[in-house]
Structure 1
Amino acid sequence: MNNQYLPVFLASCLFFISLSQTASNTSSQHHCLPDQSAHLLQLRQEFVERNYSDYYVYYGYDYYYHGSYPKMKSWKADSDCCSWDGVTCDTQNGEVIGLDLSKSWLYGPLNSNSSLFSLRHLRKLNLDSNNFSSSTIPPEFGQLVRLTHLNLSFSFLHGRIPLEISWLANLVSLDLSLNHFENFVGGNYDYKLLDLRRIHLEVLVQNMTYLRELHLGEVNISSSLPQSLANLSSLTSLTLFGCNLQGKFPADIFMLPKIQAIDLSSNPKLVGVLPKFQSCSSLKELSLPYTNFSGELHSSIGNLKSLNYLDLSSSNFSGAIPPSIGNLSQLTDLSLSYNNFHGQLPSTLGNLAKLTSLKLNNILHSQEVPSFLRNLTQLEFLSLSHNNFDCGFPVWLINNTKLHSIDFWENQLKGPIPSEICRLPNLSYLDLSYNSLTEAIPSALFTTPSLSSLYLEHNQLTGPLKFQNISTSPLKLLSLSENKLNESIPRSIANFTKLQFLFLSSVNLKGKVELEIFFELKELQYLDLSGNRVLVSKTNISSTIPKFSELYLSSCHLLEFPKFLEAQNALQTLDLSNNSIEGKIPKWFWNVGKETLGYLNLSFNLLSKFEHPLAVLPWKNMYLLDLSSNILQESFPIPPLSTNVFLASKNNFTGSIPPMICKVRALGILDVSNNQLIGQIPQCLLNSNNSLVPSKLDIYSIVGANKALQLADVRVSVGEEGTIIIRFEGVNGNPMVSGLCIKRAARLPASQVKQGHIICNNCDAEIEISSAQNKYLRMMATVKYEKKIEELKTDPVPAQDR
């Protein structure tokens, strides 16, 4: 081509390219069809926008809330709906094919007549992390037959999963997980879950041959898994935690050609063994904690070269841990805690150079901290609790500068706490509690730049406490209970400006503790001074006193009700037990936490009367009220109508139990033994259909000690101050016969209550944790009960365990 024509040629090419792009863009800019826009605008009218940030953060669900905003707010009738936030349209015809309203602040029921079901061309629908007011899943979802992706997780749905969901044969991804709805009634959490028991999992997925992702966490399945799941050859991710699975897990699922993630955690009735893994396995995540998987780990586990997450904790694995586990070069998270492994840990664990989280609780058989930890320079989270380390704190661990969290709870660590810990720039959590550490706490520890939680309780640490240069400390939780400080609390503790939780029970302080010192901690919510001599000023109430949510002043040598309580309208827990408070319960006391108080313990005082008797005690959210072991002399009081546990034994109450007690419908435990009560027991307390479980002493007085009992149901409540109440309901010829065992246990933070922790030796009971309830472990737990109740009939629970 002649060079003189080249510019003309290039210009022509550019013109045609530009024309082609313009035509392409014009053809793809289809506006949303009018009916689609109308359906979406109608959908917006069906819900209200409600910011649930406080709820999510309070219950530990901030992960699901993070990044949320009201997407529908941008939807305007005078604009193209294909440009609306969360809406995707087909570029050929303008039909709405995708709707992502996850984390959109939607609040209200999801009804069968929702305009959502008029969007018949939808392929992808995401309604994750909204609040549909505990409504059921409408069967009309079965009309959206083009759906390939459906996500209804964490949206407060409950009830039966409709059969119509199984009609969605084109589904590639189905997520119905985390739809538990909690309702706190009378001290118990009423869990409402999605239910798959009616149609069964096999029926649900029988038509979903393209399925790649199946997430049903916390859906109530209550059955064994069908072998047909192993036919889902495209499956890459299977999530079935907390589903009450039973029977044997089909091992073929582990061998699916494309499977990458399996989560079966918190299914204690699910049994199984791990197969011999092939080197071609694509498995990246395997989570089996709190299941009944057992057997030895085969050396083939080292073939899982893509594995980055492995959690086998709290199961029944046994044998030696194979050295081949060190071949998992991509592993970042490893937990082998609470199993039946024996022998030494293989040193090859030191080859796992990418590990950021390591949990080896209750499995080590050495008195020394494993030296291979030196090689794990990427570690951020290290938990070695409940082992038998009989040594000092491993100072060489300070070289792992990326550590965020260190947990050595319940070992036998000796000697002083090394001041070098403060050199860890990222350390935010340190738990050295329940050890044998001695000497004074290094003052530098309180100024560790990122430390927000410090647990040092149950050691032999001494004073003096030195709080220097702490005004910028990020510390939010400080636990020093059950030590031998032998000094007074310095007033400089008030310089912890961010402190929210302070545990100082039974620290053997010198002299009296001035309560007013802690009033300067403006962020303080939780204060425990039990077992110390506390001095309470009688000065006027100040508006600058923190609004406590939990306050423990048990065994503090108090002689009267602290006046500052009169302004505490946000209290949820108050313990004034084992003091010498005498006389009348003042009238103003009825307003303390009137809307919020759930736990009140006034036992073991010298209280004689109510200054202003009421027909029903006034608190609206009370679940446990303990007035026992006083000298209260009036007629029997009616507890708040929300009460689940009412303990009023060892007083001088007179008259009969009023029939009005029957209105306390949440009442589960009532102990009125050792009073001067007469007359008939209200019929509702003898009604086998009533939920009331009488106390063990009442059983002996009403039924007699020679009745043979048979176990029907066992439950346990863990009170917020650590009181553990085990209830068992049994029948053998008399449906009202039940029992009770109460153990005044030492307070244990929820993070320290472990699987298998013995909670009542007399009742041979132990904690059995479920992930769905971990958040509420201080309130609820399940229990394994192995001792026959017949053995108790001539062996009452000793007084010290009641």
Structure 2
Amino acid sequence: MGSLFFFYSLVCFVLLSQNFSSSLVQHLCSPNEAFSLVQFKQQFSASFAKTSWNESRDCCTWDGVTCDMLTGYVIGLDLHLTNLSGSIHPNSSLFQLRHLQTLNFAYNNLSGPIPYSIGNLTQTRELNFGYNHFTGHIPSTISKLKHLTLLDLSSNSLGGEIPDVFSNLQELVNLYLSYNSFIGPFPSSIVRLASLESLDLSINSLSGPLPSNVSILQKLVDLDFSHNSLNGTIPSWMFSLPSLYMVELHHNLFNGLSDELKLNPTLGRLDLSHNQLSGPVLRSLQNLTNLVNLDLSSNNITVDEAIPIAFPSLEVLQLSSCELKDLPHFLRNLKTLRALNLSNNKIRGQIPNWFSNRRWDSLFHLNLSHNSLSGHIDLSHYYSLVSLDLKFNFLEGPLPSAICNMSFLNLLDLSRNNFSNSIPSCLGNMTQLTVLDLRRNNFSGSLPPLCTQITSLATSILNGYQLMTTIILNGNRFEGRVPVSWLNCVGLEVLDIGNNAITDTFPASLGTLEELQVLVLKSNKFHGPISTKLKFGFPKLRILDLSHNEFSDSLPAEVFRNFKAMIKDDTNKGEIRYMKRFDSFFDVYEDSVRLVVKGNEIELERITTIMTTIDLSSNHFEGVIPKALKDLGSLWLLNLSHNNLRGDIPMELGRLNMLEALDLSWNRLTGKIPRELTRMNFLAFLNLSQNLLVGPIPRGLQFNTFDNDSYGGNLDLCGPPLTKQCGTSDLSLVPQPLESEGEDEAYFFSGFTWESVVIGYSFGLVVGTVVCSVMLKAVKPKWFVEFFEGLIPHKKRRPTKRAQRRQT
């Protein structure tokens, strides 16, 4: 009996298996839905990136398509990052897929309004249209999608008021509307979503107060209303919801906290920075015992030292730009602090002992910059620091040797203080150091021997990315030579040692630093030629400033041919980014440099990654301007002024289409101003003054905007904007020296116009005739003959150029 039952069960199992298999074959992708998908693909065929969408195959096997395994209906369509562009028509076949549960079009180039037909997809649970270019309003038909758990419309160009269409979406868990242009009051229907856990309305233009009484959002965990124009007081429900962990209200217009503040102990992250809060805000928040991250920066808060404030779990505290006048005493009670930012306040005087002498075992990031701190600083208890920022204070004395104990230090910014004496050599052994900024102090002695080991400044890789690195020692009293150890800093991108007393030849060996983008050696005592005998690379160099030194000799053309990063590259056209060095809990170190831009010395607080400049001014360079400069098509600024450059201005410079400033003043340039220079469409500053240029000034485009100052000191230039009119004589008829004549003779004659030659010749003829007549009447005709015989040279070989140069 048992065997018969087993056999019967086995037969049933086989039959059921066959029926199940046949059902799988029968329930493939619905022909109607397959047809709808094909039609949708044809609408975007020019940009559609899914090659597997072939009509001969089952649509359930297509990339991005998910089907129900029993019914064969399409329940998921994931086309994010597929290069979709254009608009979605309201009658699109997309809206015939009535069984869709997930629809993801994120990270494409879709534009136009969101079709009202979206309401037809009533089974949809996840709708993601984020990171596109949709415009217009949120369609009211969204309210029909009652099963939505995720709605992401962030990073589009949607506008108008946020409609009250969310009341029906009671299953909604995540709502993201950030990075749009929504205006008007806070939508009241949102606060009635009982299932909501994440709500992001940041970076819009919402205005007015928040609702005063909200109790339904019991599951809300993350809330971000930052970067709007919300005002009034912050209501108490912001701190009393039982699940709330993160509240981001920064960059609004809130002016206070509710008097009936009921604090929520689960709150871990609170950012109220960049508002209009005032008074004892910290005291109002002191019962947030689980708070880990608190940011009250850019408010006008006060600290009541009479009331103890603990925050037993606090790890990150930011109180920058809060008008604080002293270091808050409650800091002594913060045992778990990892990052402290008190920058840009009015804290003055010496750092108190209770702050300096305390053991900061867990403190990794300390920023006291932009205050008025003075005196010496004790760093013996900060050995765990990863970043230390003390710039813009009045701290003085030598750099404490205790800094050598900070083995984890990544960033050290002591710029714009009064530190003095030499730099401890141990900086070269700090294996994690990535940013060193000591500019504008009174440090002296030799340049520090950095990168003496294989350090982070040398070849550091963090999480697969090479660390960006910077050395800035500008504006001190360093002397001597560039240390050889710096050649180990192979990851270095910015090197600025300008405005010191360094005596050295050009450090061509730094050309082996293939990542170097900014090199500033200005205002030192560098001398000699720019040597090309050593290995000269600098393939990524974009900013070169050698001005105000004693460099000499000619400008080697091969030097400029190596500047590959200055050659025009259309792949980065229009892309403007900034050089950022270091990202900590609250700081991003951005490289800055002081350059002469369009005739004025300015501080560039941020360096764009497309800026390219060459400043070789105020040296002793001679010879001609290399034509190889024409290849630097991305060059913005070129300054060769105050040198001894000779010859013509190369017409090839007219190919520098991106050039905005050109300064060739105070040289010995001759010839005409090439008409080809008028092709430089972006040229906003031009200085050709104090040269020996001749002829009419070219007119056209940007040249019509320059005034007299651009041409002063060239006595033989004529035409607008100068008052001197050009004559009728053809300047092209000026006799040119033969090729066999010396270079110095060519330079000498090129400074004279035809008119000056004629006048000089005529004047000399008259004077010579008078002198001759007098001499013929004088006594001792033999002496007269011998005198003139001595003036007439005997026929001899012309000296070489080198001999001529030696004689002069």
What TM-score does the superposition give when structure 1 sets the normalisation length? 0.64
1:469 corresponding residue in structure 2: 452
Hey, what's the Cα distance between the residues in 2 that align with 1:468 and 1:154?
A: 43
| 1:404-483 superposed matches below 5 A | 404-418=386-400, 427-464=409-446, 465-467=448-450, 469-473=452-456, 474=460, 476-480=468-472, 481-483=474-476
Hey, what's the Cα distance between the residues in 1 that align with 2:4 and 2:626?
A: 100
> RMSD of the TM alignment (CA)?
4.8
- Name the CA shift for 1:468/1:123 in 2 (closer, same or farther; >3 Å): closer
Which among 492, 498, 507 is matched to residue 485 of structure 2?
A: 492
Q: Percent identity?
A: 27
Secondary structure of 2:508 counterpart: helix
1:196 corresponding residue in structure 2: 159
Hey, what's the Cα distance between the residues in 1 that align with 2:380 and 2:334?
A: 9
Hey, what's the Cα distance between the residues in 2 that align with 1:678 and 1:345?
A: 74
2:649 corresponding residue in structure 1: 611
Secondary structure of 1:99 counterpart: strand
| Structure 1 residue 296 displacement after superposition | 5.7
Indicate whether 1:589 and 2:629 are aligned.
yes
Hey, what's the Cα distance between the residues in 1 that align with 2:93 and 2:19?
A: 35
| Structure 1 residue 525 displacement after superposition | 2.3
- Name the CA shift for 1:619/1:634 in 2 (closer, same or farther; >3 Å): closer
Hey, what's the Cα distance between the residues in 2 that align with 1:307 and 1:14?
A: 60
2:118 corresponding residue in structure 1: 142
1:316 corresponding residue in structure 2: 276
Deviations 1:483-530 (A, max 9, x none): 333343202101112222323332x14213523132121222232333
- Name the CA shift for 1:453/1:538 in 2 (closer, same or farther; >3 Å): closer
Equivalent residues of 1:366, 1:388 under 8 A apart: no
2:613 corresponding residue in structure 1: 574
- Name the CA shift for 1:537/1:392 in 2 (closer, same or farther; >3 Å): same
Hey, what's the Cα distance between the residues in 1 that align with 2:18 and 2:408?
A: 54
Hey, what's the Cα distance between the residues in 2 that align with 1:550 and 1:44?
A: 48
Hey, what's the Cα distance between the residues in 1 that align with 2:548 and 2:444?
A: 21
2:29 corresponding residue in structure 1: 32
Hey, what's the Cα distance between the residues in 1 that align with 2:306 and 2:94?
A: 56
Hey, what's the Cα distance between the residues in 2 that align with 1:304 and 1:476?
A: 41
| 1:638-717 superposed matches below 5 A | 643=682, 646-648=684-686, 651=689, 658-661=699-702, 672=707, 674-675=709-710
- Name the CA shift for 1:240/1:486 in 2 (closer, same or farther; >3 Å): farther
1:174 corresponding residue in structure 2: 151
| Structure 1 residue 287 displacement after superposition | 1.9
1:289 corresponding residue in structure 2: 250
Which among 661, 666, 671 is matched to residue 625 of structure 1?
A: 661
- Name the CA shift for 1:472/1:37 in 2 (closer, same or farther; >3 Å): farther
- Name the CA shift for 1:583/1:344 in 2 (closer, same or farther; >3 Å): farther
| Structure 1 residue 466 displacement after superposition | 1.9
Count of residues paired in the alignment: 619
Letter in 1 for 2:78: D
1:59 corresponding residue in structure 2: none
- Name the CA shift for 1:678/1:426 in 2 (closer, same or farther; >3 Å): same
Structure with bigger gyration radius: 2
Secondary structure of 2:163 counterpart: helix
- Name the CA shift for 1:340/1:354 in 2 (closer, same or farther; >3 Å): closer
Secondary structure of 2:539 counterpart: coil
Hey, what's the Cα distance between the residues in 2 that align with 1:391 and 1:366?
A: 15
Any stretches of 5+ residues in structure 1 without a counterpart? 51-69, 180-193, 665-669, 682-802
Q: Which moved further from structure 2: 230-239 or 251-260?
A: 251-260
Equivalent residues of 1:367, 1:391 under 8 A apart: no
Hey, what's the Cα distance between the residues in 2 that align with 1:43 and 1:427?
A: 56
| 1:319-330 superposed matches below 5 A | 319-323=279-283, 325-330=285-290
- Name the CA shift for 1:345/1:36 in 2 (closer, same or farther; >3 Å): farther
Hey, what's the Cα distance between the residues in 1 that align with 2:484 and 2:269?
A: 46
Q: Which moved further from structure 2: 137-146 or 474-483?
A: 137-146
Deviations 1:66-102 (A, max 9, x none): xxxx9x5776777655465544333442222223344
Q: Relative CO higher for 1 or 2, CA cutoff 8 Å, sep ≥ 6?
A: 1
1:532 corresponding residue in structure 2: 524
1:360 corresponding residue in structure 2: 319
Deviations 1:112-136 (A, max 9, x none): 48765554432322233x342x744
- Name the CA shift for 1:387/1:637 in 2 (closer, same or farther; >3 Å): farther
Deviations 1:680-722 (A, max 9, x none): 99xxxxxxxxxxxxxxxxxxxxxxxxxxxxxxxxxxxxxxxxx
Hey, what's the Cα distance between the residues in 1 that align with 2:482 and 2:284?
A: 52
Letter in 2 for 1:568: F
Hey, what's the Cα distance between the residues in 2 that align with 1:502 and 1:285?
A: 41
- Name the CA shift for 1:541/1:424 in 2 (closer, same or farther; >3 Å): closer
Equivalent residues of 1:513, 1:532 under 8 A apart: no
Hey, what's the Cα distance between the residues in 2 that align with 1:105 and 1:380?
A: 42
Equivalent residues of 1:447, 1:470 under 8 A apart: yes
2:495 corresponding residue in structure 1: 502
Secondary structure of 2:261 counterpart: helix
Hey, what's the Cα distance between the residues in 2 that align with 1:390 and 1:15?
A: 93
| Structure 1 residue 145 displacement after superposition | 3.1
Which among 508, 518, 537 is matched to residue 516 of structure 1?
A: 508
Letter in 2 for 1:214: L
- Name the CA shift for 1:467/1:428 in 2 (closer, same or farther; >3 Å): closer
Hey, what's the Cα distance between the residues in 2 that align with 1:530 and 1:154?
A: 45
Deviations 1:544-570 (A, max 9, x none): 433223334444455665641233232
| 1:85-124 superposed matches below 5 A | 86-102=64-80, 104=81, 106=83, 108-109=85-86, 112=89, 116-117=94-95, 119-124=97-102
1:602 corresponding residue in structure 2: 639
Any stretches of 5+ residues in structure 2 without a counterpart? 339-361, 461-466, 567-609, 712-717, 723-808
Equivalent residues of 2:65, 2:78 under 8 A apart: yes
Hey, what's the Cα distance between the residues in 2 that align with 1:575 and 1:450?
A: 32
Equivalent residues of 1:126, 1:151 under 8 A apart: yes
Equivalent residues of 2:77, 2:102 under 8 A apart: yes
Hey, what's the Cα distance between the residues in 1 that align with 2:399 and 2:387?
A: 16
Secondary structure of 2:565 counterpart: coil
1:300 corresponding residue in structure 2: 261
Hey, what's the Cα distance between the residues in 2 that align with 1:375 and 1:502?
A: 37
1:690 corresponding residue in structure 2: none
1:545 corresponding residue in structure 2: 538
| Structure 1 residue 307 displacement after superposition | 2.1
Equivalent residues of 1:392, 1:414 under 8 A apart: yes
Equivalent residues of 2:401, 2:424 under 8 A apart: yes
